[in-house]
Structure 1
Amino acid sequence: MSEQEAIPKKGILRLWRALGPGITTGAADDDPSGVATYSIAGAQFGTHLLWMSWLTWPLMGTVQMMCARIGMVTDMGLAGVFRKKFPRWLVGIASLALLIANVINIGSDLAGMADAANMLGLGSTHLYVVVFGVGIAFAAIRLRYHQIAVVLKWLALVLFAYVATAFIIRPDWSSVLHAAVIPQWPRNHDAWAMVVAILGTTISPYLFYWQAGQEVEEQNAKGRRLMRHHHAVPDEDIAFRRADVALGTLFSNVVMFFIILVAALTLGAHGVTDITTTRQAAEALRPLAGDAAYLLYTVGIIGTGLLAIPTLAGSAAYAFAETFDWTYGLDRKFPQATSFYAVFALAILAGIMMDFLKIDPFKALFWTAVINGLLAPFLLVGVLLVASDRTLMKGQPSSLVSRVCVGITTILMFAAAIGLFVF
């Protein structure tokens, strides 16, 4: 083999090994809240919001890469670097807001998973909320999350059932392309709420903290943190992470596109515009799987929930640990990071308790996305300020293009939030 042939193969092998936090984050983004939100969007508004899928991909990708770069360059998670830039009390408020939003998200995801399992006649929803919640907390504390995520992220591939279903239905692709390319202005309060929800479930606050925190853990796991404490992050490492994030966010947004499309063509086209149950949402997969649509939907919801809930609880634990100088990391054993794991377990426990408040699980999944959409732009302001600070970023700030893109994302999310309250 010639040297010229060996180099590309070596590069491809390194890229494959570098895939990790970005892919996991992209898979976790299509959590039960996301699937529910996209299903409601398609059923209620048809294909009118398909254009958001190509808009959110570069926005989400740039935001996640900016957070990844912060973690790689500073060797700190978001809360840790925020403390270098802002007063501790402000960082504490942001961490508390994140915890509250994540608890609501965890509770909604657990309820959605349990509701999907109950749809198959497998037992009480309350029982499954407890089983899923306790099981996730125990597995994350006792095992290494990275080992779990390697397996769980493949369960998210079940969501490609929506892609297969779309081709089975054979829509008018010219009309679909038109809806995907030509944006339609939201016309009422419900439409604005849906725009906020889609932005919130795609560009989610917990993913900001998670991405940065995972970069720190990656460096620790590879033993690089101390070795390059005074050295710049190699451009090659940043390039590989950029590819990782791009692939993960592409997966997330492709899935979003096809869930909205399939829900529009199966549910909305047949007059089911107000989805209130998991069973109704699962009907979208009937053209592909028939009566097995319920099983397919359940596997997808439970798989993405098992991946997303540790991400939600973990991001809140990262935020609090760095705010209050606790030892932290999912790669550490419980006695080494007791306070970190206490927040992790508390977030899941609080999510379990939400189920006993008799909140409608499917509506909760949607409104969780709205809450994230309202919180995200405030956090993005902080992310942007940190990523632009040459001192904090050790001479490796995010590029001007990235900062402009994240700035546009922030403005769009603030505008959507204003539209929700004005129209």
Structure 2
Amino acid sequence: MTDTRASPRQRWGRRGALALLAALGPGLIAANAGNDAGGIATYASAGSQFGYRTLFVMVLVTVALVVVQEMSARLGAYTGEGLVSLFREHFPLRAGAFAVFMLLVANVGLVVSEFAGIGAAFELLHVNRYVSVPIAAAIIWAVVVFGSYRYAERVFLVLTLAFLAYPLAMFLGHPNWGAAGLNLVVPHLLGSKAFLFLAVALIGTTITPYMQLYQAAAVADRGIGPEDYPAERADTIFGSIFCNLISITIIVATAAAIGGTGPLDSAAQAAQALRPVAGSAATQLFAVGLLGASALAAAVVPLSTAYAVAEAVGVERSVSRSFREAPLFLGLFTSLVAVGATIALAPGNLISLLINTQVLNGLITPIILTFILLLANRRSVLGDAANGTRLKVLATTCVIAVAVLAAIVLVQTVLNWFGVG
């Protein structure tokens, strides 16, 4: 248990960002993490491009998210360790290192998407991203390294509450309820490259590897053991479902507002779904929410990644240390922020960049899920809490379905490089 008498800096040093997040509640964090910059852009693009057709995909993704997050939470509760430690202990060195590397790549893509989200938010407020992104990167780096992030995080969380306007916008936007309900329960899938590409993006932004890393580590860090797990399991399932209910409202609200207009070209288009709620202030409301969600994740993801990697190799990991005392930890955090901000400044459409990074996550996700599934199936790891027959079948089906879809998109992408297809 975290010592409540310790100073914020000491708590960061011993526990890291994940402990602070866990104190806020896994359900709340799951909802906010799922609806970050990449998530909002991907869900809005799904509604804009394909109307209600992706709703059935979201139902399947919700089932997979519940299964995966529950396994991650159970691993944390019954082993008292995070995923990185479990990868290191229960798999051969090369396999464990490969899993950690994939997590690192996925999280780099996520950091890029968050800084792209910051740039898009400020552009809606008429501030050039070449000005806003470097300044935001410097501020985020400073508030974490100098120990004031605990307070900045609360501000970011409050800003993300703007996205709770989407459920209201969905009702006020007068969608075609019959079509939305039918697409929710009956598949209306397309075999086009664009649809498959976006489906993988939906998987990548919803079942992001960072969330599995967070879930297991947060549960372990809070000291939740087997006797406490039933309540944590309920919280995990609720958080996963709530997260995707918000996601579905984003798709429906956007489909009602601009459905059938094709892929999003700008954040301003995505903001149109909030017009029934905010009227002419929709763009500003969307910008505030996007900024809060992006800034929150732009700090937490690189910091949590640095903690995880430092833990994996067994070196000092604390923001209260100097660069000389914790070179890998602070160096990796700094590098992730710098790389994420730099790539986000590359010329091009920020919305396309956001969605492409979610596709990258979607391609990596089945690799991470395979490791999690293998751990959750092993009695040597979980004892009697290991996956039973039914859960093994369900979890394996989810992983295979995600892997097949990711493989199809990967093959299509490679063929396109060579001008085939």
Shared fold by TM > 0.5? yes
Structure-2 separation of matches of 1:199 and 1:392? 27
- Structure 1 window deviating more from structure 2 (368-377 vs 276-285): it is 276-285
User: Which secondary structure state, in structure 2, belongs to the residue aligned with residue 244 of structure 1?
Assistant: helix
Partner of 1:173: 177
Structure-1 separation of matches of 2:331 and 2:379? 35
Partner of 2:9: none
- Structure 1 window deviating more from structure 2 (407-416 vs 129-138): it is 129-138
The alpha-carbon distance between structure 1 residues 244 and 144, as it changes in their structure 2 partners (threshold 3 A), is farther
* 1:249 and 2:236 correspond: no
Letter in 2 for 1:214: A
Structure-2 separation of matches of 1:379 and 1:117? 33
Structure-1 separation of matches of 2:250 and 2:361? 20
Letter in 2 for 1:334: R
Give how far 1:388 is off. 1.7
Structure-1 separation of matches of 2:235 and 2:304? 19
Give how far 1:197 is off. 0.6
Partner of 2:370: 381
Q: Deviations over 1:52-75 (max 9, x none)?
A: 232222321221121122122222
Quick one: which of 265, 282, 291 aligns to 1:293?
282
User: Which secondary structure state, in structure 2, belongs to the residue aligned with residue 303 of structure 1?
Assistant: helix
- Structure 1 window deviating more from structure 2 (310-319 vs 243-252): it is 310-319
Instruction: Report 1:12-411 matches (<5 A).
Output: 20-121=25-126, 123-143=127-147, 149=153, 152-219=156-223, 233-235=225-227, 237-269=228-260, 272-328=261-317, 333-335=320-322, 338-393=327-382, 395-411=384-400
User: Which secondary structure state, in structure 1, belongs to the residue aligned with residue 81 of structure 2?
Assistant: coil
Structure-2 separation of matches of 1:195 and 1:118? 27
User: Which secondary structure state, in structure 2, belongs to the residue aligned with residue 403 of structure 1?
Assistant: helix
User: Which secondary structure state, in structure 1, belongs to the residue aligned with residue 189 of structure 2?
Assistant: coil
CA contact (8 A) 2:40 2:250 kept: yes
Give me the TM-score of the superposition, normalised by structure 2. 0.85
Q: Deviations over 1:28-73 (max 9, x none)?
A: 1111101101111111111111122322223212211211221222
The alpha-carbon distance between structure 1 residues 211 and 86, as it changes in their structure 2 partners (threshold 3 A), is same
Q: Deviations over 1:148-176 (max 9, x none)?
A: 55554443332121111111122232221
User: Which secondary structure state, in structure 2, belongs to the residue aligned with residue 326 of structure 1?
Assistant: coil
Q: Deviations over 1:340-386 (max 9, x none)?
A: 23322221111012134324311010011111111010111111111
CA contact (8 A) 1:210 1:311 kept: no
Structure 2: runs of 5+ lacking an equivalent: 1-21, 413-420
Give how far 1:132 is off. 2.1
Structure-2 separation of matches of 1:393 and 1:140? 35
Give how far 1:276 is off. 1.3
CA contact (8 A) 1:21 1:244 kept: yes
Structure-2 separation of matches of 1:27 and 1:390? 33
Structure-1 separation of matches of 2:248 and 2:156? 22
- Percent sequence identity over matched residues? 31
Structure 1: runs of 5+ lacking an equivalent: 1-16, 225-232
Give me the TM-score of the superposition, normalised by structure 1. 0.85
